[in-house]
């Protein structure tokens, strides 16, 4: 789960459209809202991401009920959680 701060951080808002580069081996034809990146020989799409703040994932798991958050930690710009149902 991407974090608001960190390697990709510095975002002011939690909901973002993040560029995603489609590898040229999967084709270079633009479909939908993609844009051709000639210099990289790929198509770039913007994907929606919700960037999580510290503690947000734990609160969501707890609110869902029926599970226990065993551990949560930050690793390489991601919030991670080990959850037991």
Question: For 29-53, what is each residue's pLDDT tens digit?
Answer: 777 888 888 777 788 999 999 999 9
68 pLDDT higher than 80: yes
Summarised one tens digit per residue, pLDDT across range 4-27 is 766 656 788 899 998 988 877 787
CB atoms within 10 A of CB 1: 15
For position 69, what pLDDT does the model report?
A: 95
Separation in Å, CA 41 to CA 32, 36, 71? 17, 8, 41
Please answer whether residues 49 and 16 qualify as being in contact, where contact means their C-beta atoms are separated by less than 8 angstroms.
Answer: yes
User: What local confidence, expressed as pLDDT, does residue 2 receive?
Assistant: 66
Helices (H), 2-78: 56-64
Res 6: pLDDT? 64
């Amino acid at each position: 789960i991407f974090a608001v701060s960190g390697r990709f951080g510095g975002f002011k808002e939690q909901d973002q459209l993040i560029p995603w580069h489609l590898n040229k081996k999967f084709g270079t034809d633009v479909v939908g809202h993609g844009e051709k990146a000639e210099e990289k020989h790929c198509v770039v799409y913007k994907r929606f991401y919700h960037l999580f703040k510290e503690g947000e994932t734990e609160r969501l798991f707890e609110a869902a009920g029926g599970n226990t958050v065993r551990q949560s930690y930050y690793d390489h710009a991601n919030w991670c959680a080990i959850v037991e149902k």
